[in-house]
Structures are given as structure tokens and as C-alpha cells.
Structure 1
Amino acid sequence: MNNITQALKNLTRRGQHNIIKILCLGIGFALASVLIAKLWYEHEYDTCYPDHDRIYRISEKISRGSDPEATYGNTPGGIATTLKKYIPEIETATRINPACNDEEMKINGERRVKGNIYVVDSCFFKMFPTRILEGNADEVLAKPYYCLVSRTMAERMGGNVIGRKLELTSIPGLTMTIGAVYEDYPWNSSFHDYDVMLSMTTQRSFSYDGQDNLAGNDRYYSFIKVSKGCHPEQGDFDNKVNEIVSKFLALLEKEEIKFSLKFTPISKYHQEDSYFRQTFLMMMILAAVILAASVLNYLLIVIGNTVTRGREMAVRKCYGAMPRNILGITMAETLLHIVLAMMLAAALIYACKGSIETLLSTPVSSLFTGKGTLFLTALLIVVFIVSALLPGRIYNAVPVTTAFRNFTESRRRWKIALLAVQFLFVSFLVCLLLIVNSQYSKLTDFDLGYSYDRLAIVNVNQIKGEKRSAMVTELSKMPEIEAWTAVTSPLFSNGGGNNIVDPETGEEMFNATDLYMAGDNYLDMLDIKLRQGRGFNANSDSLKEMMVSPDFAQKLKNEKKWKDVIGRKILITEHSQTGKDLFTIVGIYDNFHANTALDDDDRPTMMFHSDPYGSYISYFLLKFHDLTADNMQAVQQRLQRLYPDETIIVDSYARQLDTWYDSVKHFRSAVMTAGICALLIALMGLIGYVNDEMQRRSKEIAIRKVNGATAISVLRMVLGNVLLTAVPSAIAGAILAGIVAGKWLEDFSVRTNMSPWLFVAGILAVVAVIAATVAANAYRTANSNPVKYLKNE
């Protein structure tokens, strides 16, 4: 206790730089603890369910002909239940059909609320139990037109929700009765955003019911729970699965489609994503760099204090202090510094709570819970031991004779080594930041093959059929609007596909990306050129028309040995309800990039004609003469007046596209934050080092000045010593950044060019900041009167 009291008294003692130590540790702890907590949070994803190690998500693996095998996370609706029926090792099976995302619903026909709606079967809560706050979940999932809502959703509705009616604005007439309320799943659960769960018995009343399909309608999330000791991922019942596939899906083999299933433990499914793995690794590196930088800087300052505190420790030894007493002093000081640093870190985290939650897409309160907190505590104990034992060892090595003579030991090699590592960290983060920023710019500036700079988008999903006629009329009158058209979805959100079927043989020929429905003048709106044929227009006598990409046309020519595809009729799965439901190819458009720059889907594309009133139309695209915030607001207000009971939002197409790159943007912000923190920590250490060196060499510098040295030559000498360490360290950091960034970029289909000039710029920036800091801190001594330092000699 006496050591703690003495450490408190020494906090503001001149020359020990305790405030700087605590500040550096606090900044480092704040950022490192947030990153480490996030890493542990991701590591524990989907482990909140009982027996989670026995729950598996089913994926399907498909290859057609000579095409490479592809794995899809969704399956047909009947896969899980069929496997349970024929494989005794499976105890429970359940499936989920995602129905609506961010859907607007009416409560008792009045108040509106938005939420995500999923269709689940009666076994969902048996596999994924959570506390049922009101009602009976099993009974609700057995009844048609009944649903459950989460606690958060119930609170948004105003509470007391049992028995209230929910009506989906996008599906007029579909009214659900709330029968139960369940506790929210944790944030690191796949089901956290499930606001409304609808009974699967209701599905057939508002959409195609494929819950029992073994082929087609592959949109279900399928899960099984196996008996203890069974490991499907290791092939425990592969033979039985193959028998089931051969028995029920023999038709696929005739069409040269290879179909198999993959079983992934639910706790590993989230971690299997390649981009997640690389980002996880990068965040781990960032956390390690920041934590190491703060601890090394702490040790650098402690070692720098050896000159001033060496005599103090020697005097203590003269009065009988034993090595354990010296170690007790350093441990008490380190403990106090770490406690104060943690308090500072907590204050910083609280102050930056909003930014952290935006950056990590996770509430801070969810990060510091459970085992993650225990891991952080263990890590702090390790930091405490290292930060206390090393200074204790150094001070115990100070000879007793130091008390009776000038102590000149500088431990310069220790300081230089610690500085070198910190310079390496800073250079690594700066160069990494330049590459990540370059990649983000590459993605946002990527040429998708069409123009959208004057486009805005309006969701009309809640306005069905002929109710859109007022909007169609109004858009044609608005002076701000140059043109408009209707689409199923914007190009950046497409990802589904359908198979092309030979109308003569009924065989599936190949798979293509389905852009679904588009209205008149769609190509003109996006400045996409028409290579052959014609586009969609209102004068067409049929809506059974489609346009295709050049790759689509070429594949079709190769399959059917046709010279031309214009005017040809084909069948498309999902669109063709019967063998006679043919679609005519009327045009071939120039290639463009469907989806975003993050997606490497190289399948051919197709789109189908629809009028603005079609059931598949969910959006209107508006082309402005001048796309400004004022013009969009004016259009939105006029449309809102037409539909006062609906929510109309006019948003920029470019802004919505950019949100798809938020993950890269947030990672860039994380690297930038880590780089700034590492730079501040390193500069504090550098300032302390320069001040110590100038104090230690003040008499030497004074003698040099007496012998004719100028302030410039003194600065050159000091800078030379530091730059001998800084330049190689900065180069090493840049090389390390290149290796790490290269690994990170592997998961992008569109990659930036890692130009050597990026690394040169990073190295020069780091060296320039270091040189400026050294010069600013050394200038006073270099320019001072030498008599000041020699008058006592």
C-alpha cells in the first residue's frame, strides 16, 4: 500500500513523464480493447444456442456440365425435412424463408412500423430457443395468419401487442395476428434482426409455396440438429445423402446437373466467408499493432527515465532496499498507470460510442460481455507483467556506486530498438491506409458500364397495380424529370439466376443472371447501347419479350446451332409456368457489370419486359435534368401528396450504390484511426527520446558549438542519428504492409494496383513527420548559448 501511495505522489513528478505514459496507454487500450472485443464477438458468432455444436446449416453444391462447381447458402424448402425423414442421426430439422426486408406494416390499419419478416416452420424455436415473453410460440407457428414479434419490435409498436393486427403494405389484404412476443436474439446471432416471424402455414396465401420442394425455389435457410457424436461435415452420412439425392433428384442427373449438399456447423458458417476471414485477420493485426505500440512506448519512456531514476534506486539500495522492494515499486507504479489508463480508455470509448458503433456495426454494450471481457482481462494481466518486470529488472541492475558518481548510462540501444519497432508500426499502418483508400476509390469509381449520375430511385412496392397510375401521370408532368422507367430492382442488388430451357427437348441448357423486369426506355435511361434488335417500348403488342447480353446470345447460338437469336423463343425457369409459356428475344444490349464491383459474377444476363403496373415491379427509376437535393425533395413532396397514407422516399442511385461498399469504407476508417493513434503514440515516444538525448548530450553539443558548429550542423547530426533508424524501419513497415494488403485484396474481383509510388509516398510521409518532430524538439538546444551548459564545468 505504501508503494501505491508513493506512486500516486509521483504521478506529477517532473522528469518521469507519467502523464504521457498514461495517455499513450489509454489511447492504445481504448482502440485495442474495442478491436479485440469485436474479434471475440465475431469468434463467438452463433454460439448462443444450446448444443450449437450439433446444429448445422445446409448448403447446396451445384455444377452444370463443364461449369465449375458453385456453393450456395440457400436450398429448396424440402431438403432439411426430407433428410430428417430418412437419416435417423438427425434429431430436428427446420427451414426459414426470408419474406420481406425493412417492410412497412400497418398496426390495426393505422400506425406504421418497419421491420424484417421471416417465414419459419414449427420447429424453429425447438432448435433455436429463446425466452417467450408472451403467448405460446408453438401454437402460433401452427396457426395460419399468426405471427410472433421480437421484444424490440413490440416496444416500437408501443407495447401490449398480443392480438393486434399487422398488415403488410406491399401485400394488401394479408393481415397477421400477433400471438406471441419473444426475447431478442443476441447481436452476434444470425437471427438478431428477425423482427417478425410468420407461420409457414400462411405462406401459400401470399406467395409461391415451395416449402416441400426438393428442386427449385432455392431460397430457404435450412438447418439440422444431429445426435451427439455425429459429424456431418466429416462425411458421417454422405452415403445416405447421396442415396436420397439419387432417389429424389434423378432428373438433375439427366440434365447433367451435379447436385450435392454441404453441412457447416452454424458457429462456423459466418466465419467461412473469405472476406470475413481476411478482415478478421486484418483487425487482429491492427489490435496487435496498437497494443504493442502503446506498451513499447511505455517501456521506452521508462528506459529513458533510467538516467534520472538510476541514482534514486541506488540510494534506496544503500538504505537496504532488496530486489523485491525495487520490483514492488515498479509493479505499484505500473498497476496505477494501467488502472488510470483503463479509466481513460473507458472515457474515450464512451465519448466515441457513436463512431465506434458506426465503424463496427455493433453496439458497444454487446462487445464487452461474456468471455470477451475475460479475455481482455487476461491480456491486461500479461501487459501488466511485461510492463512491470522489465523496468524492475533494469532498475535492479543499477549499481549502488551510482549514488556516489555521475550516472551516464543511456541504454541507447534499447531506446533505438523500441523506436525502430514503433516506426515500423507507423509505416505499416500509413502504407496500409493508402492501399485500403486506393481500393475504396477503385470500387466507388469502377465503371459499371452504364450511367447513373443523374438517376434517383423510388420504392413503389407498397403501391400496387393500377394505384400507380397517378404516379405515372404525375412523373410525366414534372419539369425536374427528364425520363423515368420501372424495374424489379436496381442493377446493384441483383444476384439471382434462372435456367434457360430448350423448348423442343425440355432440357436446361445454362444458367443466367436474371435482372427480372424492366420498363420502356430502360436502356436509354442508363445509356446502355443496343447492339442488335430493339429495346422495350410501349408499342409492343406483348409483354412476353426479353433482351439478353452478348454472352447470353453466344451461349444460345452454341447450344442450338443458331446463326441469330433475335426473334427466337425460349423457356425460362420461374418465368415460364408451362412448356408453352415462351419468351421472345427482341434485343441484344452491350455488356455491363450487373451487381456491384464487389461481385465477380460473370454469368450472362437477361431482362424481361413489364409495364409499370406489373406485380414484379418494385422500383421506379427517375432521370433528372439536374440531380440536386432540392429537386429530389420537390419530387418527393409531390409524390407524397398523391399517396398521403404511404411513405415515399426519393433517393440518389449513386448513394444507394455506395452503401454496398460500406464494409470497405469502415475498414478504411479503422485503419485510419489505428494509424493516427500509432503515430501519436510513436511521436510521444520520439519526443521523449529526443529530449533525453539532447539533455544527455547537451555538454557535447555546447563544446561543438564553441568549436564552430552551427545550429544547422547540430540539427543535422541529431536528425542523422534518428533517420538511420527511421528510414530502414519505414521501409520494413511498407514491405510488411504490401504483404498484408496483397493478401487482403485477394478477395476482391476488382483490385487496385499496388503502385510502388504508394509505398514511396507512405515512407516519405512517415520520415517527414519524424524529421519535423525531431527538428522542432532539438532546435531549442541546438540554438541555445553553449555557456548555459558549460558554466558549471
Structure 2
Amino acid sequence: MNNITQALKNLTRRGQHNIIKILCLGIGFALASVLIAKLWYKHEYDTCYPDHDRIYRISEKISRGSDPEATYGNTPGGIATTLKKYIPEIETATRINPACNDEEMKINGERRVKGNIYVVDSCFFKMFPTRILEGNADEVLAKPYYCLVSRTMAERMGGNVIGRKLELTSIPGLTMTIGAVYEDYPWNSSFHDYDVMLSMTTQRSFSYDGQDNLAGNDRYYSFIKVSKGCHPEQGDFDNKVNEIVSKFLALLEKEEIKFSLKFTPISKYHQEDSYFRQTFLMMMILAAVILAASVLNYLLIVIGNTVTRGREMAVRKCYGAMPRNILGITMAETLLHIVLAMMLAAALIYACKGSIETLLSAPVSSLFTGKGTLFLTALLIVVFIVSALLPGRIYNAVPVTTAFRNFTESRRRWKMALLAVQFLFVSFLVCLLLIVNSQYSKLTDFDLGYSYDRLAIVNVNQIKGEKRSAMVTELSKMPEIEAWTAVTSPLFSNGGGNNIVDPETGEEMFNATDLYMAGDNYLDMLGIKLRQGRGFNASSDSLKEMMVSPDFAQKLKNEKKWKDVIGRKILITEHSQTGKDLFTIVGIYDNFHANTALDDDDRPTMMFHSDPYGSYISYFLLKFHDLTADNMQAVQQRLQRLYPDETIIVDSYARQLDTWYDSVKHFRSAVMTAGICALLIALMGLIGYVNDEMQRRSKEIAIRKVNGATAISVLRMVLGNVLLTAVPSAIAGAILAGIVAGKWLEDFSVRTNMSPWLFVAGILAVVAVIAATVAANAYRTANSNPVKYLKNE
């Protein structure tokens, strides 16, 4: 206790730089703890369920002919239940059908809320239990037109929701009764954003019911829970699965489609994603760099204090202090510094709470729970031991004779070694930031093959059929609007596909990305040229016409040995309801990039015509003469007046596209924050080093000046010593950044060019900041009167 009291008294003691120590540790702890908590949070993803190690998600692996095998996370609805029926090792099977995302709903025909809606079967809560706050979940999932809502959704609805009627604005006439309320799943659960769950018996009322399909309608998330000791994809279990696939999916083999199932532990499913793994590794590196930089800087300051505190420790030894007493002093000081640094870190985290939650896509409180907190505590103990024992050992090595003579040991090699590591960290983060920023710019500036700079988008999903006629009329009269058209979805959100079927043989020839429905002047609005044939016109919808990409046309030519595809009729799964429901190819458009720059889907594309009132139309695209915030607001207000009971939002196409790159943007922000923190920490250490060196060498510098040395020559001498360490460290950091960034970029189909000039710029920036810091802090001593330092000699 006496050591703690003494440590408190020494906090503001001149020359010990305790405030800087605490500040560096606090900044490092704040950022490192958030990153480490996030890493643990991701590592523990989907482990909150009982027996989670026995729960597996089913994926399907498909290849057609000589095409490479592809793995898809969704399956037909009947796969999981069929496996359970024939494989006794499966205890429970359940499946989920994502119904609506961010859907607007009415409560009792009045209040509106938005939420995510999923269709689940009666076994869902048996496999993924959570506390049922009101009602009976099993009964609700057995009844048609009944649903459950999460606690958060119930609160947003105003509470007391049991028995209330819930109506989806996009599906007029479909009304459900809220029968139960369940506790929210944790943030690191796949089901955290499940706001509303409908019974599986309800989906046939508003959608195609493929819950028992073994082929087709591959949109379900399928899960099984196996008995203890059972390992899917091994031994007898795998053989049984192959037998079931061969028995029930023999038709696929006739069409040269290879189909198999993959079973992944639910806790490992997200970790299998390569981008997830790379980002996880990068975040781990950032956390390690920041934590190491703060601890090394603490040690650098402690070692710098050896000159001033060496005599103090020698005097203590003269009065009988034992090595354990010296160690007790350093441990008490380190403990106090770490506690104060943790308090500072907590204050910084609280002050930056909003930015941190945006960066990590989760509330701060959810990160510091459970095992993650224990891991952080263990890490702090390690930091405490390292930060206490090393100074204790250094001070114990100070000879007793130091008390009776001048102590001139500088431990310069130790200091320069610690500075070198910090310079390496800073250079690594700066160069990494330049590459990540370059990659983000590459993605956002990527040429998708069409123009969208003056486009805005309006969701009209809640306005059905002929109710859109008022909007159609109004848009045609608005002076701000140059043109408009109707689409199923924006090009950046297309991911689904359908198979092309030979109408003569019924054979499925190949799969293509389905862009679904588009209006008359869709290609013109996007600046996409027509290569051959014609575009859609007013009669296209009734004639069942479609347009295709050049590679679609080439594949069809190769399959059917046709010279031309214009005017040819084909069948398309999902669109063709019967073998005679043919679609005619009327045009071939220029290639463009469907989806985003993050997607490397190279399948051919196709689109179909629809008028603005079609059931597949969910969006209107608006092309402005001048796309400004004022013009968009004016259009939104006029459309809102037409539909006062609906929510109309006019948003920029470019802004919505950019949100798809948020993961890269957030990572860039994390690297930038880490880089700034590492630079601040390193500069604090550098300033302390320069001040110590100038104080230690002040008499030497004074003598040099008496002998004719100028301030410039003195600065050159000090700078030379530091730059001999800084330049190699900066180069090493840049090389390390290149290796790590190259690994990270492997997961992008569109990659930036890692130009050597990026690394040169990073190295020069780091060296320039170091040089400026050294010069600014050394200038006062270099330019001072030498008499000031020699008058006592």
C-alpha cells in the first residue's frame, strides 16, 4: 500500500513523464481493446445455442458438365427434412425462408414500422432456443396467419402486441396475428436481425411454397442437429447422404448436373468465407500493432528515465532496499499507470461510442461480454507483467556506486531498438492505409459498363398494380425528371439466376444471371448500347419478349448450333410455367457488370419486359436533368402527396451502390484510426527520446558550438542519428505492408495496382514527420547559448 501511495505522489513528478505514459497506454488500450473484443465477438459467432457444436448448416455443391463446381449456402426447402426422415443420427432439422428485408408493416392498420421477416418451421425454436417472453411459440408456428416478433420489435410497436394485426404493405390483404414475443438473439448470432417470424404454413398465401422441394427454389437456410459423436461428411453418415441424393435427385444426373451436400458447423460457417478470414487476420494484426506500440513506448520512456531514476534506486539500496523492494516499486507504479490508462480508455470509448458502433456494426456493450472480457483481462495481466518486470530488472541492475558518482549510462541501443519497432509499425500502417484507400477508390470508381451519375431510385413495392398510375402520370409531368423506367431491382443487387431450357428436349442447357423485369427505355437510361435486334416497346410484355447479353447469345448458339438467336424462342425456369410458355429473344445488348465490383459472377445475363404495373416491379428509376439534393427532395415531396399513407423515399443510385462497399470503407477507417494512434504514440516516444538525448548531450553540443559548430550542423548530427534508424524501419514496414495487403487483396475480383510509388509515398511521409518532430524538439538546444550549459563546469 505504501508503494501505491508513493506512486500516486510521483504521478506529477517532473522528469518521469508519467502523464505521457498513461496517455500512450490509454490510447493504445482503447483501440486495441475494441479491436480485440470485436475479434473475439466474431470468433464466438453462432456459439450461443445449446449443443452448437452438433448443429450444421447445409450447403449445396453443383456443377454442370465441364463447368467448375460452385458452392451455395441455400438449398431447396425439403432437403433438411428429407435427410432427417432417412438418417436416424439427425435429431432435429429445420429450415428458414427469408421473406422480406426492411419491410414496412402496419400495426392494426395504423402505426408503421420496418423490419426483417422470415418464414420458419415448427422446429426452429427447438434447435435455436431463446426465451419466449409472451405466448406459446410452438402453437404460433403451427397456425397459419400467425407470427412471432422479437422483444425489440415489440417495443418499437409500442408494447402489448399480443393479438395485434400485422399487415405487410407490399402484400395487401395479407394480415397476420401476433401470437408470441421472443427475446432478441445476441448480436453475434445469425438470427439477431430476425424481427418477425411467420409460420411455414403461411407462405403459400403470398409466395410459391417450395418447403418440400428437393430440387429448385433453392432459397432456404437449412440446418440439422446430429446426435453426439456423429460427424457429417464422414463414414456411414456420408454414405447415407449420397444414397438419398442418388435416389431422389437422379433426374439431375440425367441432365449432367452433379449435385452434392456440404455440412458445416454453424459456428464455423461464417469463418469459411475467405473475406471474413482475411479481415479477421488484418484486424488481429492491427490490434497487435497498437497494443505493442503502446507497451513499447511505455518501456521506452521507462528506460529513458534510467538516467534520472538510477541514482534514486541506488540510494534506496544504500538504505537496505532489496531487489523485491525495487520490484515492488515498479509493480505499484505500473499497476497505477495501467488502472489510470484503463479509465482513460473507457472514457475515450464512451466519447467515441457512435463512431465505434458504426465502424464495428454492433453496440459497444455487446463486445465486452462473456469470454471476450476474460480474454482482455488476461491480456492486461500479461501487459502488466511485462511492463513491471522489465523496468524492475533494469533498476535492480543499477550499481550502488551510482549514488556517489555521475551516472551517465544512456541505454541508447535499447531506446533506438524500441523506436525502430515503433517506426516500423507506423510505416506499416501508413502504407497499408494507402493501399486500402486505393482499393476502396478502385471499387467505387470501377466502370460497371453503364452510367448512373444522374439516376435516383424509388421503392414502389408497397404500391401495387394500378395504384401506380398516379405516380406514372406525375413523373411524366415533373420538370426535374428527364426520363424514368420500371425495374425489378437495381443492377447492383442482382444475384439470382435461372436455367435456360431447350423447348424441344426439355433439357436445361446453362444457368444465367436473371435481371428480371425492365421497362421500355431501360437501356437508354443506363447508356447501354444495343448490339443487335431491338429493345422493348409497349407490346413486349404481352408478346413475352426478352433481351440477352452477347455471351448468353454465344452459349445458346453453341448449345443449339444456331447461327443467330434473334427471334428464337426458349424456356426459362421460374418464368415459364409450362413447356409451351416460351419467351422470344428480340435484342442483344452490350456487356456490362451486373452486381457490384465485389462480385466476380461472370454468368451471362438476361432481362424481360414489364410495364410499370407488373407484380415483379419493385423500383422506379428516375433520371434527373440535374441530380441535386433539392431536386430529389422536391420530387419526393410531390410523390409523397400522392400516397400520404405510404413512405416514399427518393435516393441516389450512386449512394445506394456505395453502401455495398461499406465493409471496405469500415476497414479503411479502422486502419486509419490505428495509423493515427500508432503515429501519436510513436511521436510521443520520439519526443521523449530527443529531449533526453539533448539533455544528456547538452554539454557536448555546447562544446561543439564553442568550437564553431552551427545550429544547422547540430541538427544534422541529431537527425542523422535518428534517420539511420527511421529509414530502414520505414522500408521494412512498407515491405511488411505490401505482403499483408497482397494477401488481403486476393479476395477481390477487382484489385488496385500496388504501385511502388504508394510505398515510396508512405515511407517519405513517415520519414518527413519523424524528421520534422526531431528538428522541432532539438532546435531549442541546438540554437541556445553554450554558456548556459558550461557555466557550472
TM range (shorter): over 0.9
The Cα shift of 1:183 comes to 0.3
SS at match of 1:516: strand
Are residues 1:567 and 2:533 paired? no
Matches of 1:232 and 1:190 in 2, distance apart? 21
Shift of 1:575: 0.5
* Inter-partner Cα distance in structure 2 for 1:761 and 1:219: 48
Deviations 1:571-597 (A, max 9, x none): 000100100000000000000000000
The CA deviation at 1:270 is 1.2
Asked whether the equivalents of residues 274 and 747 of structure 1 are also in contact (C-alpha less than 8 Å), the reply is yes
Q: Distance in 2 between matches of 1:686 and 1:599?
A: 45
d(CA) in 2 for partners of 1:738, 1:713: 36
Show CA shifts across 1:612-660 (max 9, x none).
Answer: 0000000000000000000000100010011000000000000000000
Shift in Å at residue 541 of structure 1?
A: 6.9
Q: Superposition RMSD on alpha carbons, in Å?
A: 0.6
Specify whether residues 233 and 308 from structure 1 end up closer, same or farther in structure 2 by C-alpha distance, changes over 3 A only: farther
Deviations 1:551-581 (A, max 9, x none): 0000000000000000000000010010000
SS class of match (2:670): helix
Matches within 5 A, 1:507-526: 507-526=507-526
Offset at residue 235 of structure 1 (A): 5.2
Deviations 1:94-136 (A, max 9, x none): 0000000000001001111110000000000000000000000
Query: For 1:218 and 1:746, how far apart are their aligned partners in 2?
Result: 29
SS in 1 for 2:462: coil
Q: Percent identity?
A: 99
Query: How far off its partner does 1:540 sit?
Result: 3.7
The aligned counterpart of 1:86 is 86
| In 1, Cα distance between equivalents of 2:345 and 2:641 | 50
Q: 1:236 to 1:446 in 2, by over 3 A?
A: farther
Per-residue deviation, 1:538: 1.4
Q: Is the 8 A contact 1:154 1:161 kept in 2?
A: yes
Offset at 1:271?
Answer: 0.9
Q: Give the paired residue count.
A: 793
The answer to whether the 8 A contact 2:566-2:587 is kept is: yes
> Do the aligned residues in 2 keep the contact of 1:457 with 1:622 (CA within 8 Å)?
yes
| Distance in 2 separating the partners of 1:46 and 1:246 | 32
Query: Equivalent residue for 2:465?
Result: 465
1:115, 1:195 within 8 Å by CA — same for their partners in 2? yes
> Deviation of residue 543 (structure 1)?
4.4
How many Å separate the matches in 2 of 1:111 and 1:339? 49
Deviation of the 1:542 alpha carbon: 2.6
Alignment deviations for residues 445-484 of structure 1 (CA, whole Å, 9 cap, x no partner): 0000000000000000000001001100110010100000
Supply the distance in 2 between the matched residues of 1:212 and 1:172 (Cα, whole angstroms).
26
Contact 1:54 1:228 in 2 (8 A): yes
C-alpha contact 1:543 1:610 (8 A) present in aligned 2: no
Q: Is the 8 A contact 2:54 2:227 kept in 1?
A: yes
Deviation at 1:161, TM superposition (A): 0.3
**What residue number does 2:230 align with?**
230
CA–CA separation in structure 1 for the residues paired with 2:220 and 2:590: 34
Q: 1:76·1:219 contact (CA, 8 Å) conserved in 2? A: yes
- Cα distance in 2, alignment partners of residues 527 and 637 from structure 1: 28
Is contact 1:501–1:570 with CA below 8 Å preserved after alignment? yes
Distance in 2 of aligned mates of 1:162 and 1:701: 83
CA distance in 2, matches of 1:233, 1:332: 55
Shift of 1:668: 0.2
The SS at the match of 1:535 is coil
CA contact (8 A) 2:541 2:611 kept: no
Write the distance in 1 (CA, Å) between the matches of 2:2 and 2:632. 69
- C-alpha distance in structure 2 between counterparts of 1:489 and 1:539, whole Å: 22
In the other structure, the counterpart of 1:781 is 781
Q: Could you tell me how far 1:234 is from its partner in structure 2?
A: 3.9
- Give distance in 2, aligned partners of 1:565 and 1:210: 33
User: Structure 1 residues 86, 21: closer, same or farther in 2, change over 3 A?
Assistant: same
Give the conservation status (yes or no) of the 8 Å contact 1:233–1:264. no
Offset at residue 537 of structure 1 (A)? 1.4
How far apart are 1:236 and its partner, in Å? 4.9
> How big is each residue's C-alpha offset from its partner over 1:181-232, in whole Å with a ceiling of 9 and x where there is no partner?
0000000000000000000001111110000000000000000000000011
Preserved contact between residue 75 and residue 221 of structure 1 (Cα < 8 Å): yes
| Aligned-pair CA distance for 1:493 | 0.2
- Summarize deviations over 1:320-358 as a string: whole Å, max 9, x none: 000000000000000000000000000000000000000
Deviation at 1:539, TM superposition (A): 4.3
Equivalent pair of 2:541/2:610 in contact (CA under 8 Å): no
Shift of 1:238: 1.2
Q: Do the aligned residues in 1 keep the contact of 2:540 with 2:609 (CA within 8 Å)?
A: no
In 2, the alpha carbon distance for the partners of 1:553 and 1:290 equals 54
| Counterpart position of 2:247 | 247
- Aligned residue for 2:406? 406
Query: What's 1:70 paired with?
Result: 70
Give a deviation string over 1:50-83, Cα, whole Å, max 9, x none.
Answer: 0000000000000000000000000000000000
State the distance in 2 between where 1:776 and 1:651 align: 50
Distance in 1 of aligned mates of 2:407 and 2:536: 89
Asked if the contact 1:543–1:609 (Cα under 8 Å) also holds between the matched residues in 2, the reply is no
In 2, the alpha carbon distance for the partners of 1:454 and 1:341 equals 50
Does structure 1 retain, via aligned residues, the 8 Å contact 2:546–2:585?
Answer: yes
Shift in Å, 1:237: 1.1
Q: Residue deviations 1:495-515, cap 9 Å, x none?
A: 000000000000000000000
What SS does the corresponding residue of 1:61 show, helix, strand or coil?
A: strand
| Cα deviation 1:512-542 (Å, max 9, x = unaligned) | 0000000111000100000000011114473
- The answer on whether the counterparts of 2:76 and 2:218 sit within 8 Å (CA) in structure 1 is yes
Kept in 1, the 8 Å contact 2:63–2:257? The answer is: yes
Distance in 1 between residues matched to 2:317 and 2:113, nearest whole Å: 73
Is the Cα–Cα contact under 8 Å of residues 230 and 236 in structure 1 kept in the other structure? no
Give the distance between the partners of 2:587 and 2:368, measured in 1 at CA: 57
CA distance in 2, matches of 1:627, 1:541: 30
1:97 maps to which residue? 97
Contact residue 428 and residue 737 of structure 1 kept, 8 A: yes
Are the aligned partners of 2:73 and 2:221 in contact in 1 as well (CA < 8 Å)?
yes
Q: TM-score, normalised by structure 2?
A: 1.00
Distance 1:723 1:599 in 2: 44
Equivalent residue runs for 1:382-397 within 5 Å? 382-397=382-397
Contact 1:686-1:774 within 8 A present in 2 as well = yes
Could you tell me how far apart the structure 2 residues matched to 1:230 and 1:241 are?
13
Match of 2:750 in 1: 750
- 1:58: which partner in 2? 58
Q: Deviations over 1:711-758 (max 9, x none)?
A: 000000000000000000000000000000000000000000000000
TM-superposed CA distance for 1:397, in Å, is: 0.2
What corresponds to 2:641 in structure 1? 641
Q: Distance in 1 between matches of 2:653 and 2:203?
A: 32
The separation in 1 between residues aligned to 2:432 and 2:116, in whole angstroms, is 37
Secondary structure of the 2:542 match is coil
Aligned match of 2:694: 694
Counterparts of 2:574 and 2:96, CA distance in 1: 20
Tell whether the 8 Å contact from 2:541 to 2:609 is kept in structure 1 after alignment.
no
1:7 touches 1:333 (CA, 8 Å); kept in 2?
A: yes
1:286: how far off? 0.1
Q: 2: CA distance between counterparts of 1:15 and 1:360?
A: 39
SS for the counterpart of 1:237 is: helix
* Structure 2 partner of 1:209: 209
Q: TM-score, normalised by structure 1?
A: 1.00
Taking the aligned partners of 2:372 and 2:233, their CA distance within structure 1 comes to: 28
Counterpart in the other structure of 1:176: 176
Q: Kindly indicate whether the alpha-carbon contact (under 8 Å) linking 1:452 and 1:526 is maintained by their aligned counterparts in 2.
A: yes
Residue aligning to 2:109: 109
Give secondary structure in 2 for the equivalent of 1:498. Answer: strand
The alpha-carbon distance between structure 1 residues 655 and 236, as it changes in their structure 2 partners (threshold 3 A), is farther
In the alignment, what sits opposite 2:719?
719
Quote the Cα distance in structure 2 between the aligned partners of 1:669 and 1:128.
35
Which consecutive residues of structure 2, in runs of 5 or more, have no partner in the other structure? none
Task: Tell me the residue number matched to 1:120.
Answer: 120
